[in-house]
Amino acid sequence: MFDVSALLTVLQNMLTLYGLKILAAIFIFIIGRWVAKMLKKLLGRIMTKAGVDATIIPFALNITYTVLLLVVIIAALGALGIQTTSLIAVLGAAGLAVGLALQGSLSNFAAGILIILFRPIRVGDYFEGAGIAGTVEEIQVFSTMAKTPDNKVIIIPNSKLLSDNIINYSMKDIRRVDLTIGIGYGDPIDKAKAVLADILAKDARILADPAPTIGLAELADSSVNFAVRPWVKAADYWDVYFNLLETIKNRFDAEGINFPFPQQDIHVYKAEPSAVTN
């Protein structure tokens, strides 16, 4: 006959033996996770007040939180009576196997470390790389988030970004605006050059040092082309670029200087009548 009272006694002993351990493990995990989050926030405030580079802060916080959470999990398992020493050895072996299977992710992680150390790009920089152009919003453990000029968010694997050429437009304080301005072959070169120089001199955003360059760059098929290259602050680049084109067009129209368009000369020759032989 089945002894219900004996079963209840066994269950009671098991709850007495393991119930407190389970509760202790749950308590350690909940409190430990909360403490890890608080420490992450506190570390973020400290790093921000200390003036740490904004590129490093989110990367360091994610690493710190992951390590703390791993410690909490091991402590919770220890409270259950699990031998954490052997568990750590098993996790190490499993980590090696997972690492071999996730070589791509590990290469992204390593690339993220290199980006943080050598800083080819930082948060807020406008750059070109891995086939995209945008502003860095965040450098994460495995990827970098960038926002394009049309407000799209692109997530780039760190290894792909680091293996490509990176053009950083924000690393230097000043940039050169490169314009090619063409005039007709019948227009006076000296007059066009003087008008261009006057336009650049009247724009306060154009720097005097380095001095702007205006030079005859090419005798093209349908135009005489000037290379116009003023220097500006990086933040003023696009405003100056667009304003200069508009101003040059209006001034050339007012000065009677032509903007040529592709054209071809057609020469028609009248053939002489051939002699008629009888």
Residues whose CB falls within 8 Å of the CB of residue 111, separated by 6 or more in sequence, listed in order: 157, 158, 159, 161, 162, 163
According to the model, what pLDDT value does residue 103 have?
60
pLDDT-based confidence at residue 16 (cuts at 50, 70, 90)? low
Helix axes 84-101, 56-79, angle to 10 degrees: 140
Domains of the chain, residue spans: 7-101, 118-168, 174-255
Class of domain 118-168: mainly beta
Q: Kindly tell me if the per-residue pLDDT of 78 is higher than 80.
A: no
CA distance 126 to 155: 15
Q: Kindly tell me if the per-residue pLDDT of 189 is higher than 60.
A: yes
Q: Kindly tell me if the per-residue pLDDT of 96 is higher than 70.
A: no
CA distance 134 to 256: 40
pLDDT-based confidence at residue 7 (cuts at 50, 70, 90)? low
Q: Kindly tell me if the per-residue pLDDT of 98 is higher than 60.
A: no
Check: CB of residue 236 under 8 Å from CB of residue 273: no
Q: Kindly tell me if the per-residue pLDDT of 22 is higher than 80.
A: no
CA distance 155 to 107: 16
pLDDT-based confidence at residue 80 (cuts at 50, 70, 90)? confident
Label residues 157-180 b or e (16+ Cβ within 10 Å = b).
bbbbbbeeebebebeeeebebebe
pLDDT-based confidence at residue 44 (cuts at 50, 70, 90)? confident
According to the model, what pLDDT value does residue 270 have?
76
Strand (E) positions, 94-212? 126-129, 132-139, 143-147, 153-157, 167-168, 174-176, 179-183
Q: Kindly tell me if the per-residue pLDDT of 136 is higher than 90.
A: yes
According to the model, what pLDDT value does residue 99 have?
56
pLDDT-based confidence at residue 222 (cuts at 50, 70, 90)? confident
CATH of segment(s) 7-101: 1.10.287.1260
Q: Kindly tell me if the per-residue pLDDT of 215 is higher than 80.
A: yes
One DSSP character per residue, 25-46 reads HHHHHHHHHHHHHHHHHHHHHH
| Least confident residue range of 8-12, 64-68, 183-187 | 8-12
Q: How does pLDDT run across 57-69, given as a tens digit for each residue?
A: 787 788 888 888 8
* pTM of this structure: 0.61
Q: Percentage of residues in the chain with pLDDT exceeding 70?
A: 81
Per-chain mean pLDDT for the chain: 84
CATH of segment(s) 174-255: 3.30.70.100
